Every structure is written in C-alpha cells, then in structure tokens.
Amino acid sequence: MKIGLLTSGGDCQALNAAMRGVVKALYENTDDISIIGFEDGYKGLIYNNFHTVAPSEFSGILTKGGTILGTSRQPFKKMNVPDENGLDKVEAMKKNYKNLGLDCLVILGGNGTHKTANLLSNEGLNIVTLPKTIDNDIWGTDISFGFQSSVDIATNAIDCIHTTAASHGRVFIVEIMGHKVGHLALHAGIAGGAHIILIPEIPYDLDKIIDAIEKRDKTGKRFTILAVAEGAISKEDAALSKKEYKQKLKGSKYPSVAYEIADKIKEKTGKEIRIAVPGHTQRGGAPCPYDRVISTRFGAAAADLIIKGEYGNMVAMVNGEIKSVPLGEVAGKLKTVDAEASVIKEAKAIGISFGD
C-alpha cells in the first residue's frame, strides 16, 4: 500500500505523535507499506512537493512539537480559484495523487482542512482524517489533539500572572487564542482561576466587567485577572453585521481585543491595566501526556480505517470512545461553546463573571 500523509493549517502539539501512531499501526498490521510525506500541507499536494518518509523517521517523534512535514494555511475558499499561474489546484491535487499511485491520503488538520478533505473525498480520492487544533472546535469529536496541551500552556500563563498581579494589586488581561470559539479561554480560565472569562459565544457588557472588578475590590481582593479569548466581543459589536464588525476591526487602533477592553476599563475606572499575550507559545512545545495518548489512539484508529478501506471518514472521540465520522458531517461546521452548558453554570456558581 502507498499512503500519503499531510498536515495542514496552524500547527499544534501532537501532530507528529498522531502521524507516528498511523505509521506504526500500519507497519504492525500490514505488509509492504510505503509512506509519502507531502511538504507544507496542501501546498505539497498541489505542487507535487513530497518525499518518501522512511519508517525510522517516525521514531522518536512522540514528544516532538510542530510537524516534521511542515504545514501552511491554504484557505478553502481559494481552493477553487486558479493560482497566479492559472493552475487549477483541485485538478492538480487529483493528478498528483493518481500519478503517485496512492491508495489513501491521510490528512491531519482543523476546520478549513476538513472542508478541503471533504472536497477531495467527493472528487473520488480515498481520504482519512485526524482532528487537530488547539481550538477544539472541530465538529463531530469531543476533543482534538493539541487542545489539552494548549490549555496547559495558557493555564501556566495565567498562573504566572497570578503571582505578579497579586503582588502589585493590578488588573491583568491574559489574551488566549481562539478567534471564533472560546473552548481554550474557558478551560484555561477556569484552570488558572481567572475571575472574569470573556469568550466569543457570550458577548460581554463592559459595565458587568467593571461591576465584577469592583466587587472584588470591595471585598479586599487587590487584583483581578481576565482570561479573554481573541474573539471576545461586546454586546454592541455582536449586534453589528459580520461585514460591519470586520470593517470596525479593520479601522481599530488596537492590536487586539485585549487592548481595546483594557483601554475601556481604564477609561471608566482609572485603573492601570496590564496585558499578557502568550500567543503562539500556546501552539508550541511538546504535547502533554493526554494529547500523546489520544493522538496515538487516533493514529491507530486511522490505520484501522485504511486497512478496512473505510475512506471518507475522520477519526473522532465520541463520549469517550474512538469512532469515525463521515467527512460530509464534519466539513463546514464549527463546534462552539454552548452558553447554556453546565460548565458555564458551574463557573458562574463559583463567582466567575462572563461579563453578561
């Protein structure tokens, strides 16, 4: 069997661990396997940049962050648009897959990646995918690898801010990754003991944020920590159309929402606010043990799908069990935080404000 592998979109921890899982399980359970690694995601498949990856290259990478194949962002909405030289990208991918004589293409990626994976599957290619993203927003799976490792990093950032915020009696905003969804800010916020958590799914009211800060002041708490998702949005902005909001962000003088919120709190309270942005550290470094385990399990499950010829599926975790979900059910949907979920109620029960 000849299997292609590619990692696409933003990287995360455990991509290598997942590929190692796929390849080890294939080598253990089949004869005569050869692995083609496409370089830098779909770009490698479009422009035929690949190399044969020796089995030994998948050893010793369980704990290695990033991706040994490289990755890139190839927006789905541009997949059907010819490149600057007029190349039809979808036709090029199909041609390269066929010319290489691949039996299956294994794709590791997030939301955008799954849209293209579904397109290729509908075009007749044998596709199996694995869910990766620190955002944990892939539809059809309870968890994606990368998420728990980034929760650890973002939590550690909040932990570090705790000590300095307490010493100085300051208000701090820690900006957590997640433009569209707030799973990471929610989990790191709770784990790091943040007092206010702002996520895109629960638009905030600035006065409610200030009430929460003042409530802490009144009870003698000298500091407040806000865990703010990159996509946190005010109630007023949430009432704008998508186009209007994009326009507003374009003209904004702030580098990101954390700066805007800080400025507004300062304006209303006179308090000096500090901002910490862990940024891409949240996607870096070694995968945590949890991610090593699920990526290995996902990898072995992907190999099983290949061996059985069950193509057109993503491996997933559903209610604690490893399952497969048809790509058509996954592509184009986003798993957002349910504002009515019990985790939100429990967080509110212990006094965490969501600014609503």
* CA atoms 104, 105, 106, 111: torsion sign: negative
- Find the shortest distance in angstroms from Cβ 257 to ligand F6P: 11
Residues 6+ apart with CB under 8 A from 212: 195, 196, 224, 353, 355
**Among residue numbers 219 through 248, which ones bind ligand F6P (CB under 6 A)?**
230
CB of 84 to ligand F6P, least distance (A): 21
- Kindly indicate which of the ranges 33-41, 130-138, 189-197, 284-292 contains the residues binding ligand F6P, using the contact rule CB under 6 A: 130-138
Residue of the chain from 64, 94, 95, 179 that contacts ligand F6P (CB under 6 A): 179
26 or 258: CB nearest ligand F6P: 258
Of 280 and 345, which has the nearer Cβ to ligand F6P? 280
Which residue in the set 134, 154, 188, 303 belongs to the binding site for ligand F6P (CB under 6 A)?
Answer: 134
Q: Which of residues 62-91 bind ligand F6P (CB under 6 A)?
A: 73
Footprint of ligand F6P on 145-174 (CB under 6 A): none
Shortest CB 6 distance to ligand F6P, Å: 17
The answer to whether residue 189 forms part of the interface with ligand F6P (CB under 6 A) is no
Name the residue type at position 14: A
State in angstroms the smallest separation of the CB of 280 from ligand F6P. 6
Residue among 184, 182, 183, 208 at smallest CA distance from 195: 208
Is 133 near ligand F6P (CB under 6 A)?
A: yes
Site for ligand F6P in 5-64 (CB under 6 A): 10
Please report whether residue 183 would count as binding ligand F6P according to CB under 6 A. no
Q: Which is nearer to ligand F6P, 37 or 110 (CB)?
A: 110
CA contacts within 13 A on the Cβ side of 163: 4
**C-beta of 184 vs 303, nearer to ligand F6P:** 184
Interface with ligand F6P (CB under 6 A), residue total 11
175 binds ligand F6P (CB under 6 A): no
Annotated catalytic residue 31: no
Minimum CB–partner distance for residue 14 and ligand F6P (Å): 14
**Contact with ligand F6P (CB under 6 A) among 37, 66, 110, 287:** 110
The token duo for 336 is 């957002």
Indicate the angle between helix axes 111-122 and 89-100, nearest 10 degrees. 70
Q: How far is the CB of 54 from ligand F6P (least distance, A)?
A: 29
| 200 binds ligand F6P per the rule CB under 6 A | no
| 291 makes contact with ligand F6P (CB under 6 A) | no
Instruction: Please identify which of the residues 31, 32, 40, 135 carries the catalytic annotation.
Output: 135
Total Cβ atoms within 10 A of residue 350: 8
In the complex, least distance from residue 179 CB atom to ligand F6P, rounded to whole angstroms: 4
SS3 sequence of 113-181: HHHHHHHHHHCCCCEEEEEECCCCCECCCCCCECHHHHHHHHHHHHHHHHHHHHHHCCEEEEEECCCCC
- d(CA 248, CA 343) in angstroms, rounded, equals 32
Enumerate the active-site residues: 135
| Positions that interact with ligand F6P (CB under 6 A) | 10, 73, 110, 133-135, 177-179, 230, 283
